[in-house]
Amino acid sequence: MTDLSCVIAGVPFKNPVMMASGTFGFGREYSAFYPIDELGGICGKGLTLHPKEGNPGIRMWETASGMMNSVGLENPGVHAFLEQECPYWETLDTVRIANLGGGCLEDYTEGARLIEENENKRRKEGRSAVDMIELNISCPNVKEGGMAFGIQTEEARKVVRAVRREVSMPLIVKLSPGAEKLTEMAYMCEQEGADAVSLINTISAMKIDVRSRKSVFRHGYAGLSGPAIKPIALRMVHQVSHAVNIPVIGVGGISSGEDIMEFIMAGASAVQVGTAGFADLRAGVRLIRELETLMIEEKISHLDEVRGIV
Ligand SMILES: Cc1cc2nc3c(=O)[nH]c(=O)nc-3n(C[C@H](O)[C@H](O)[C@H](O)COP(=O)(O)O)c2cc1C
């Protein structure tokens, strides 16, 4: 018997495969193509306290082995999410993770507070829509000059500490590959009470149009994702899982069951799949099946047998 289940921060997952934030909307569109309850979990589009229009101009660019995006966190805001998307999330039988970004500390704390307050109200009525919060600390701190919170450990500490004080819901902190000291950053998250870390977010990258002699992206740089970043993500997950005792969720370029197994062997408790879903709408469920087949072939009955084996 193969058992794909896992538990992160006390939350039981059917299997270790979640859809990554920003690549799956809030799941509704995908439910027309397959039962998304088969997934281990879903991470919603990155939310900010107030609605955000996102970036002007070109937002996506395909690259060899991946893509770049400059979406700029277009989203309806926390209030609209709670009113319009949570009734749908209530109907799902998969782990539901709200991904939260912010331009200043108060955006994160107020956003997290509202999500938890709303969830507590639902639970009193015997309902539930959100199981976990994932903090995206890669957002620029607009109040203090635009440097992303996720670069310097002490800047990130302020966010994690403040949000942890505000809410008791399971908290995942999503780390940026641009962090100055990645393992120190992950350890800080553990010290400040995060229940898990996920990594990596996209890698800062660029595309130049030689005819116009300009970057194709209005803001100059964009985030690289997909198979091109997988070896880097895998190395970072390996390093971080040796630096912390909380679960590590591996993200970056995963597009096969074998890729998932690599992340598990590097120490991940679970994974998130993003860009692969653009080329194959059913990537999430396909990968679960591929992972199960690989486990049978390799006579692995539970992923704990090989987790962190490398
Ligand atoms: C179009 C697009 C939008 C994204 N939006 C978000 C977001 O809102 N919040 C977030 O934490 N990560 C966001 N990400 C990053 C992904 O969740 C993931 O960390 C990254 O793409 C690496 O995984 P992948 O190679 O499987 O796509 C986005 C990625 C893409 C491609």
Chain segment 39-81, per-residue pLDDT in tens: 999 999 999 999 999 899 999 999 999 999 999 899 999 999 9
240, 78 Cβ separation under 8 angstroms = no
- Report the nearest-CA residue for atom 22 of ligand 1: 252
CA 157 from centroid of its chain's CA atoms: 19
Q: Does residue 86 carry a catalytic annotation?
A: no
C-alpha to C-alpha distance for 112 and 117, rounded to whole angstroms: 9
22, 251 Cβ separation under 8 angstroms = no
The secondary structure of 138-165 as a DSSP string is TSB-GGGTT-BTTTSHHHHHHHHHHHHH
- pLDDT over 80 (residue 201): yes
Residue 153 makes CB contacts below 8 A (sequence gap 6+) with: 179, 180, 181, 184, 185, 188
Chain segment 244-302, per-residue pLDDT in tens: 999 999 999 999 999 999 999 999 999 999 999 999 999 999 999 999 999 999 999 99
- Report the nearest-CA residue for atom 23 of ligand 1: 252
C-alpha to C-alpha distance for 149 and 174, rounded to whole angstroms: 11
DSSP H helical ranges for 75-191: 78-80, 86-90, 105-124, 153-166, 182-191
Q: Which of 6, 86, 139, 189 is catalytic?
A: 139
The secondary structure of 212-242 as a DSSP string is TTEESSTTS-EEEESGGGHHHHHHHHHHHHH
Q: What is the pLDDT of residue 166?
A: 97
- Report the nearest-CA residue for atom 19 of ligand 1: 201
- Of 74, 20, 4, the C-alpha closest to 252 is 20
| Ligand 1 atom, smallest distance to 59 CA | 1
User: What's the whole-number mean pLDDT along residues 102-125?
Assistant: 96
Calculate how far, in angstroms, residue 201's C-alpha sits from the geometric centre of ligand 1: 6
Chain segment 135-164, per-residue pLDDT in tens: 999 887 777 777 789 999 999 999 999 999
The vertex-279 CA angle with 234 and 57, nearest 5°, equals: 95
